[in-house]
Amino acid sequence: MPARYHRFAGSSLERLAALSDGVFAVAMTLLVLDLKPPSLVKHSLGYGLLHHVAPHLLPYAMSFLTLGIFWVGQQTQLGSFTRSTRALTWIHIAFLMAVTLLPFSTALLAQDTSHRLSVAVYWLNLFLLGVVLLASLRYAERAALFSDETTPEMRGALERRIVVYQALYAPAALTCLINSYLAIGLIVVLQLNAVIAPRIWILDRA
What are the tens digits of pLDDT across the range 59-72?
888 999 999 999 99
pLDDT category, 12, cuts 50, 70, 90? confident
Q: Kindly calculate the radius of gyration of the chain based on its CA atoms and give it in whole angstroms.
A: 19
Could you count the other beta carbons within 10 Å of the beta carbon of residue 47? 12
Q: How far is CA 93 from CA 13, 43, 136, 192, in A?
A: 12, 45, 11, 27
Least Cα distance to 62 among 112, 28, 33, 38 occurs for 28
Instruction: Compute the 3-state secondary structure of the chain and give helix, strand, coil in percent, each to the nearest 5.
Output: 80, 0, 20
Are the beta carbons of 150 and 95 closer than 8 angstroms? no
DSSP state letter for 146:
B
Q: Which residue has the higher pLDDT, 26 or 113?
A: 26
- Whether the pLDDT of residue 205 is over 60: the answer is no
Instruction: Return the pLDDT at 9.
Output: 56
Interacting residues of 142 by C-beta distance below 8 A, sequence separation 6+: none
| pTM as predicted | 0.85
